[in-house]
Structure 1
Amino acid sequence: MSPISDTSAGTDRQPLTAPVLGAVECVNPAGARLGEGALWSQREQALYWVDILARRLHRYHPTSVTRTTWSFSEEISALAERAGAPGLIVTMRRGFALFDPAADSEPRYLHQPEPALPGNRFNDGKCDAQGRFWGGTMDFDCLAPTGALYRYDPDGSCTRHDDGFAVTNGPTWSADGRTLYFNDTVNGRVYAYDFEGATGTLSNRRLWLAFAPGDGVPDGMTTDAAGRLWIAHWGGACISCHDPVSAQELCRVPLPTSHVTNCAFGGPDLRTLFITTARVGLTPEQLAAEPLAGGLFAVAVDSPGLPAGMFGG
């Protein structure tokens, strides 16, 4: 991959290092068609994640090693906890919705921003530190550049911030909250935007990292407390860790399966990196060689991640 230097924080800064502690472990060999949406619940001390194409939400409790699954009538792709109420905000196929796992009922739609694009669906998403949910859409066939990046606010307003993507992934933010990173997956590009936290606005889009041919493409990602970005490689069988300013690669976490889709920090001290993977798109030969494809993995790292943002509504 090719780093594109962002010198906004100064050129004499020393790059960060990022050792990984221990080996990767498959903690849930779920065989997900398209694992995604990793979220660590601080309240429940559990890892939520989804299988988009199987229309399932999973929850894994590391301490008790219990696993719970909910099934839906349409695709679920990303989620965040609600700050002022029980349950989750989620992105379903057509938009933003509320779901309470304790109630075990169907999600309730809040807003559907693309009624004229039935071939689109929502994909990745996260809450910012101010409690707004950012979610991206994509072409279901991963071909047409019809995807866009939206911000859904607790007051019910929804804003379109960028578009022209076949597949969207991310976002994640810099540790100081002044930069938003977002993936144009099909084209192998990670973009950086200036982020204004008070207003939730973006500006100054620039190419931050370009994936090299043969290295997969950027899928989901997260940020740790030191500001380093951890990016899943679809088709690249790894997670790579990067300096937030120079984009220099600091380390790799190899996975025993090709399609690595998302990651999130969890555990009591947020020092466990949970990683989702997928089976979809693998040949019969690849599936035979990668029996853990679609599993949920975990690995210990040297410094904690950041707590996931919670939705303000």
Structure 2
Amino acid sequence: MTTHTVPRLLSAPRCLWDAGTTLGEGACWSGREQALYWVDILQGRLMCCDAAGGARREWRFDDTVSALAERRDHPGLALTLRRGLALFEPASGQLQRLHEPEPERAGNRFNDGKCDARGRFWAGSMDFGCEAPTGAWYRFDAQGQAVRVADVGWPVTNGPTWSRDGRTMYTNHTVAREVLAWDFDPDSGSIARPRVWLRFGPHDGLPDGMTTDADGRLWIAHWGAACVTCHDPDTAAELLRVPLPTAHITNVAFGGPAQRTLFITSARFGLDAAQLAAEPLAGALFAIDTEVTGLPANTFAG
């Protein structure tokens, strides 16, 4: 077992873009464009900026948009809308909807997602109201066809991220405050043997989006607890807790020219007027300079 060191931060969190998102999410660094893409799920906003928060662009959809990945061999992005995967070309605004795999679950929407190292897009569905046990995990192939790989029955799905060796996939059973580890077969894209890897307490909020750094440590955003935590990949022990100036922290991703900036999204959803007055940066995009090197975001093979 490797002893993993406590990661070192080089700056306090700073606000890159006070976008006032209702439900900020989907942070993904584009290596090709040297830009950070992120979304406001409930407002159908896709946003993009450089590592300093400049060169801002924004697109609007008449649908929810929740997770995204850069396409490997073509311009543009793959992204999850409410009902399934789509391809989007920011330069032209062209949108091509692909497979919508659960028409029988009319109350669901897609939530978090990422690509694995082979370029397959993994996305979790969930109940729009965050209550019904209707969530499932899907794997989209390069043609955009989806396979339901795990009918987990969670009200809210979050993650995924992978271990450094690509043999374990982690997902968040958000309302249960649990991080689950699954055996992952990189060749077949199959998952098996889910087990609770980490369980948070009531004062830790709810685990939301997460990412893995180059040393295999997991970084997890906490909804309702105003923080990001970093965890040892072998023991799940908390190595670092990073406080943020607003309660609902939703997603984390490494990026920047050297993959050493930690980008963090947040949300205004569910905060009352007093909370919003006390947390004026709710819904903003934040960044922290670190000595940690992140892994480049996997790209979509389609």
1:148 equivalent to 2:136? Answer yes
Provide the rounded CA distance (Å) in 2 between the counterparts of 1:298 and 1:196. 33
SS at 2:246 equivalent = coil
Q: 1:182 to 1:236 in 2, by over 3 A?
A: same
1:110 aligns with 2:98: yes
Measure the CA separation in 2 of the matches of 1:64 and 1:172: 25
Which sections of structure 2, spanning at least 5 residues, go unmatched? none
Choose from 121, 127, 132 the match for 1:139: 127
Q: How does 1:220-239 map to 2 (within 5 A)?
A: 220-239=209-228
**Which residues in structure 2 correspond to 1:1-313 (within 5 Å)?**
10=1, 13-62=2-51, 65-105=54-94, 107-162=95-150, 163-313=152-302
Measure how far apart 1:160 and its partner are: 1.1
Runs of at least 4 residues of structure 1 off by over 4 A?
none
Q: Is the 8 A contact 1:15 1:246 kept in 2?
A: no
The residue identity in structure 1 corresponding to 2:97 is: Y
Query: In the aligned structure 1, how far is the partner of 2:136 from the partner of 2:179?
Result: 15
Q: Secondary structure at the match of 2:133?
A: coil
Structure 1 residue 65, shift from structure 2 partner: 1.2
Which amino acid in the other structure matches residue 141 of structure 1?
A: G
Shift in alpha-carbon separation, 1:205–1:56, aligned structure 2, 3 A? same
1:64 CA drift (Å): 7.5
How far, CA to CA, are the matches of 2:272 and 2:89 in structure 1?
37
**CA distance in structure 2 between the aligned counterparts of 1:244 and 1:142, rounded to whole angstroms:** 29
Alignment deviations for residues 179-198 of structure 1 (CA, whole Å, 9 cap, x no partner): 10000111111000011101
Maintained 8 Å contact 1:56/1:76: yes
Over 3 Å counting, the alpha-carbon distance change for 1:302 and 1:64 in structure 2 is closer
Cα offset, 1:203, TM superposition: 1.0
Q: Distance in 2 between matches of 1:171 and 1:201?
A: 14
CA drift at 1:143: 0.3
Q: Deviations over 1:206-257 (max 9, x none)?
A: 1001110121010000000010000000001000000011000000111000
Is contact 2:226–2:246 with CA below 8 Å preserved after alignment?
yes
Q: Which runs of 5+ in 1 are unaligned?
A: 1-9
Aligned residue pairs, count: 301
TM-score, normalisation: structure 2: 0.98
CA drift at 1:301: 1.5
Query: Normalising by structure 1, what TM-score?
Result: 0.94
Which whole-Å deviations, capped at 9, do the CAs of 1:275-301 have from their partners, x for residues lacking one? 000000011111000000000000012
Distance 2:237 2:134 in 1: 31
Residue pair 2:85, 2:144 contacting (<8 A) in 1 also = no
**How many percent identity over aligned positions?**
59
CA distance, structure 1, for counterparts of residue 275 and residue 48 of structure 2: 27
SS of 2:153's equivalent?
A: strand
